[in-house]
Amino acid sequence: MPTISFSYKDFEKLLGRKIPMDEFKDLVLLYAKAEVEDYDSKTAEIKLALDDTNLPYLWSVEGLARYFKGVFETEKGLTKFKVSSSKYDVIVDKSVEKVRPYIATFVASGKIDNYLLEQLIQFQEKFCEGYGRKRQKVSIGLYSSKKVKFPVHYKAAAPDSIKFVPLEMDKKILLSKVLELHPKGKQYGWIIKDFSAYPILVDSNNEVLSLVPIINSNFTGKLVVGDSELLFEATGTDEEAVNLAANIFAQNLYERGFKLQSITVHYNNKKVKSPHSFNEKIKIRQADVEVLTGLKLTHAQTKDLLERARYGVSDYTVSIPDYRKDILHVFDVIEDIAIMYGFNNIESAPLTNYTMGSPTKMNEFVDSVREIVLGLGFQEILSPILSNKAIIEEKMEVQDRGIVEISNPMSETYSAVRSWLTPIMMEVLSKNKHRDFPQKIFEQGLINVRKGQKIEDKEAIVLAISQTKTDFTEIKQCLDAIMNSLGVVSSVEPFDMGTFIKGRGGSIKVNGKAIGLIGEISPKVLSNWELEMPVTALEIDLSELKRIIS
């Protein structure tokens, strides 16, 4: 959850009106899902915690002021920064394609005082840590552009081939040494350390601007109070996110009176003017608005609410601001209509149908198994149904576990639906190495398995034990206890897979049909999770078991 600090006086100046703090606290919670954590009435310094992690345009005082201009209707509709052309160029070398292929950049001219510099650095850090996934997906660099000789070259260089003076240091060191010696190198070096060449920005004077995404140079990359022209650059592995970073920064600076100049980015097979408009539009239907919100709005009312949310509207075509990439569906636009109308102003509709609920047979069966496992002394955990391929397959030393991947994930962390639960146990154990042992945990939950063109939802349960001495016999005793309590006869047949030690893994069967896996986790998998204690685990497909015994 991003937390930002800014001057409340600056916010009111950008907004163009004053708001009592008590009123602001209510409004910012209602409209921006944010909470005032602290306010110093003497200095007018405010600290704000924002709940939405996918709305980075609100992570700055400029973005909040722009948004609340719409709330108060002092300025409505689409707002766009103006940018003039320049003769500046950035040449992207083919060598960065597999390392960090994308860059967005521009030059901004205006007065940089101490407060603005602090705000720029704050937004840079919040964006890169949150939306940029700790700089892996996107990182941002700011430079004194008057010290830069264009064209600038973006390329990859061997770690021991180039020296430069990083920020906060006073002597030249090799790129490889930056990762070893500089605090930022130690913190973010993991992003590039496994590549044979590191991405750098170099100007036409052969002056290194930055070791991307680690640290700027102490010469060009040190923006100071009094500078009147800055060079912005964002690099990363996601072209859309890189361009979004440039658009948000450009919009913020433009609204502070800065003059923007575009830079032409030369890729191997194309030229791009940066920053540039996404020009995204989406059509809505009045009927969808009514169904989803329950509001009977006229077209004029809908148009007004959309313009207050800072969209452009032409008939039923909605233009999305260039500083937003969170609009994935028409429902997202309709949600903003409801926010501007005020959720507290929407009347509750009376119930028209009355039904009595009861647990399904499957739920009753699942709960009975959970009760058995709890009785064996295991502690239950609950995890998200979304995970990622690295956790589900790669760290478990298996392939094609039938995972369903998300085509446009907001985060790589949650980019696939889990297809089995054992990897989740390993992740939990890896995060609790500092806790007391033995550790006996289990989870019961939904998994999603792809089989050809079909996708099956299944209920599953997994048990894991981690302690100094745990072996196949111990986890098999847990399986026997579960099956005996259910009155089911099961067997275990040898089954080798990368997850288990060879010869110490098995397939659990009932009536000759496989319903799960059991075994001792292999040293390679333990190493992948940085676990030192042995781990044993068993996983049962409860949906299949229920079907067999019914």
Tokens of 508: 């659990």
Surface-to-core class of residue 371, CB atoms within 10 Å of its CB (0-12 exposed, 13-18 middle, 19+ buried): exposed
Q: Are residues 416 and 403 in contact, defined by beta-carbon separation less than 8 angstroms?
A: yes
Q: Are residues 422 and 396 in contact, defined by beta-carbon separation less than 8 angstroms?
A: yes
pLDDT value, residue 284: 94
pLDDT value, residue 242: 97
pTM value surpassing 0.75: no
Q: Are residues 79 and 251 in contact, defined by beta-carbon separation less than 8 angstroms?
A: yes
Q: Write a three-state SS string for 12-60.
A: HHHHCCCCCHHHHHHHHHHHHCEEEEEEECCCCEEEEEECCCCCHHHCC
Q: State which residues of the chain have pLDDT below 70.
A: 410
- The Cα 204–Cα 63 span in angstroms is 35
Q: Are residues 87 and 199 in contact, defined by beta-carbon separation less than 8 angstroms?
A: no
pLDDT value, residue 550: 83
Tokens of 517: 């896996």
Angle at 190 between CA 248 and CA 176, to 5 degrees: 105
Domains of the chain (ranges; CATH) run 3-71 (3.30.56.10), 83-274 (3.50.40.10), 281-343 (3.30.56.10), 361-549 (3.30.930.10)
pLDDT value, residue 388: 87
Instruction: Render pLDDT for 248-303 as a digit per residue (tens, 0 to 9).
Output: 999 999 999 999 999 999 999 899 999 999 999 999 999 999 999 999 999 999 99
pLDDT value, residue 207: 96
pLDDT value, residue 198: 98
DSSP 363-404: HHHHHHHHHHHHHTTPEE----SEE-HHHHTGGGT------E
pLDDT value, residue 4: 96
